[in-house]
Structure 1
Amino acid sequence: MVQSKVFWQQHKFKLNGLVLLLPLWFLYDSLTPEFPPAWPAQQLGQFEIAPIPLDLKPPYAHHDEYVKDFYLSFTQGDIAAIRQGYLNIGPAPLPLAELQQGEEGILHGSRHGQHVHAIAPPQLTATDKVWLTLQTWQGELLTTSWQLPDELVQPQ
């Protein structure tokens, strides 16, 4: 018993030093993220858009829905011309009336790019695509899609 107290008294400063250094590791890790490569850009009306998945993990449960996080890079076009935009994953784009019912799948961000929790099924299949639906202030409805890369598709 006395031996363990002496050991603790001699080495407790090392544990304190480790506790002080761990936040630096986590700070570095959070400031240097690594993302998968961007997908090919597509022209959609006046916009040129390239999606970037934030990771290669399967969709996750978020507020009772499954979602997959994406960053959309707008390399051409004025984002201020978009009234609303949605991203979903599936065999077909969801109708605008259905997309407007919830809070998932909505594009949000700045003129530099948009983040989105894309509505997704629990398991991604080879028949699924990533569907982008934009509505402009003039009421024009624009839709495009990207094939899912093989590394995102779960085996059946």
Structure 2
Amino acid sequence: MTEQYQGLRQFWARHKFKLNGLVLILPFWFLYQSLNLQFPPALPKAQLGPYAVTAMPLSEDGPYAHHGEWVKDYYLQWCAGCVEKIRQGFLLVSDNEPDLASLSRDHSSLLHGNKHGLHVHARTPQQLKAGDKLWLIIEDWQGQVYSHHWVL
């Protein structure tokens, strides 16, 4: 055996336990990070007719590519019992109010989730422009349409 190979074997024999220790410690670090999430601050509470909602971005990162378009994830927390009364809803970034009929034919920006809150991959441009707003448009089971926007 060469002297260089012999030195490598001695180095590995002396330090392999450190790699084992690192492999044992890293899962606890990732568990800690997953249990202590840091979310950006929520947007101001909005009132859409009889429905109260608070929108919260899920990260401070910019938009990301998802199924051929740029989106940003949001969580919507509704008043108690409001989610069951909503037939459909959309959240997206636009400079003017989108039309509900055109949104209904598309699958993106659709609110989905359960009675505790709704999630959305909100369609957004890759770079925000002056005048862009975050639009929330909902329709209840009686056919009433409500909309609200937050200035970005």
Asked whether the two chains share a fold, i.e. TM above 0.5, the reply is yes
Structure 2 Cα separation of the partners of residues 76 and 126 of structure 1 = 35
The structure number with the bigger radius of gyration is: 2
Q: Structure 2 stretches of 5 or more lacking a match?
A: none
Q: 3-state DSSP class of the match of 2:79? A: strand
Equivalent residues, number:
148
Identity %: 49
Q: Is the 8 A contact 2:89 2:139 kept in 1?
A: yes
After superposition, where does 1:5-154 map in structure 2 within 5 Å? 5-75=9-79, 78-148=82-152
- SS for the counterpart of 1:7 is helix
| TM-score, with length taken from structure 2 | 0.90
Cα distance in structure 2, aligned partners of 1:64 and 1:9: 51
CA distance in 2, matches of 1:85, 1:99: 9
- Whether the 8 Å CA contact 1:46–1:77 is kept in 2: the answer is no
Q: How far off its partner does 1:77 sit?
A: 5.2
CA offset digits 1:28-60 (Å, max 9, x no partner)? 111211111111111101111111111222211
What stretches of structure 1 move > 3 A for 4+ residues in a row?
none
Q: Which amino acid aligns with 1:131?
A: W
Calculate the aligned-residue CA RMSD, in Å.
Answer: 1.4
Question: Deviation digits for residues 77-123 of structure 1, max 9, x if unmatched?
Answer: 52111000110101023222322233221111222211111011111
